[in-house]
Amino acid sequence: MTDRICVAQIGAAHGIRGEVRLRSFTEDPEAFTRYGPLESEDGARTFEIETLRPAKDHFVARLVGVADRSAAEKLTNIKLYVPRDRLPPVEDDDTFYQLDLIGLAAVAPDGTALGTVKAIHNFGAGDIVEISPLSGGVSLMVPFTTEAVPEVDIAGRRIVVVPPTIVE
């Protein structure tokens, strides 16, 4: 488990007055605004939100100290983090931070070891779990749904995965 969690990412500049597109990674899309200053991945920079408004599938934000489009463009793709202790505690077994899945063992429903969770991705159509197979080679990608991943056991350090059926 890490001491910092990625809660948002800066996208492209928006307009000419220094605003940026901001994509939230929190369950409640506006929750990241309640966690205090946001930090870059390397911790070298902090960002405070001056104004925020919703857009179609993102937010448009003005960040303190970013006054023009040129400055906003330099921030594109910066991931924003907060210390874990600023986030609400996990209340039950069905709630967890996706980062806590990285490194867990992935097993089939019968207990057969499949590999290790390498990453969680979202390319726009929902979350996908990337599993590095024990034998090496190409990663297994499965949708992060209750059908494909019926069990997540953080305490037991494993997830149960129903491998996809390959039709030739």
**Residue showing tokens 């906003």:** 72
Could you confirm whether domain 4-86 is CATH 2.120.10.30? Answer: no
CATH topology of domain 98-160: SH3 type barrels. (2.30.30)
For the chain, domain boundaries: 4-86, 98-160
* Segment (H or E) for 73: helix 69-73
Residue 8 in tokens = 């948002």
pLDDT in tens, the chain (168 residues): 468 888 999 999 999 999 999 999 888 899 999 999 999 999 999 999 999 999 988 999 999 999 999 999 999 999 999 998 898 887 776 778 888 899 999 999 999 999 999 998 877 778 899 999 998 889 999 999 999 999 999 889 999 999 877 666
Spatial neighbors of 17 by CB under 8 A, at least 6 apart, are 62, 67, 68, 69
> Which pLDDT value is given to residue 15?
93
Tell me whether strands 127-133 and 140-143 are parallel, antiparallel or unpaired: antiparallel
101-137 pLDDT tens trace: 999 999 999 999 999 999 988 777 788 999 999 988 8
pTM of the complete model: 0.74
Spatial neighbors of 14 by CB under 8 A, at least 6 apart, are 20, 21, 60, 72
**Measured between alpha carbons, how far is 97 from 90 in angstroms, rounded to an integer?**
8
